Amino acid sequence: MLDTWTSNGIRGRGNLPPVAGNFGGTLALVAGGWPVWQDFMALEAMEATPWPHDIMVVNDIGIFLPRPLTHWVSYHSDQLPHLVALREGHLGNSQIKRHIHTHGAPKPEGAECRWEFEAAGGTSTLFGVRVALAMGYDRVVLCGAPMDSGGHAWTPPPEMWVPDSFVKHGRFGNERLEQDWLQARDNEFSGRVRSLSGRTREWLGCPNGEWLNGFSG
């Protein structure tokens, strides 16, 4: 039987990664949904440009975001080394190179930090929120995570979709995903997570400058 642990209100099983509890403050969690660039620019307009706090990216969007990254998360852990290498080749800017902590589930291998949470369900973005809170962050603000059927920032227009394509299914707009997020909001988030767009903004609320800096708002 695996040992259980609790870190900053998040419960998990197995080995607790050593980064747990080592971070704090505000984290921008940047996913690849269609409004990601609009969201991120709005976030910097609230706080500062460039964004002065830590950033976690989800999956492919980390290749393109021209800001220093602290964390990279994916359920597809085996892809993380390739994504990090693609980022270095694509951006080619020594000023944004730094060690990036990579995070994934216990399997497949490929991530530096492997997490197993008691709560199941969701996508890599919800997994990333749990990772962020377990590491000790006080506030997590989502960019590019509308959890609707609008596709990714790189999704082709509808007229290019083929029958039964992944994007046409509108997977991110389904009711099961909504329930996963609402349960996490009610049982784990404790008001510590907000979003700039889409359904997650409806469920979690939108951040403002006071909230980003640790004041009620």
What SS3 class is residue 141? strand
**CATH code, 36:** 3.90.1480
Cis ω before 50 (30° cut-off from 0) = yes
Question: Within a domain: residue 52?
Answer: yes
**104, amino acid identity:** G
- Domain membership of residue 15 (yes or no) is no
Q: Please check whether residue 217 lies inside any domain of the structure.
A: no
d(CA 140, CA 129): 7
Is 109 contained in some domain? yes
Is residue 145 included in any domain, yes or no?
Answer: yes
Tokens in use for 129? 């929120």
Is the Cβ–Cβ distance between 133 and 188 less than 8 Å?
yes
Tell me how far apart the alpha carbons of residues 48 and 77 are, in angstroms, rounded to a whole number.
32
Q: Specify if 186 maps to a domain.
A: yes
In a domain, 39, yes or no: yes
Q: Give, for all 217 residues of the chain, the pLDDT tens digit.
A: 679 999 999 999 999 999 999 999 999 999 999 999 999 999 999 998 899 999 999 999 999 999 999 999 999 999 999 999 999 888 876 556 678 999 999 988 999 999 999 998 889 999 999 999 999 999 999 999 999 888 888 877 766 665 544 444 455 556 788 999 999 999 999 999 999 999 999 999 999 999 998 876 5
Q: Quote the tokens at residue 85.
A: 């290498």
Question: What range does the domain containing 119 cover?
Answer: 4-9+22-212
Is 16 among the domain residues?
no
- Give the H or E element holding residue 91: helix 80-91
Residue 66 and residue 87: Cα distance in Å, rounded?
Answer: 9
Total structural domains in the chain?
A: 1
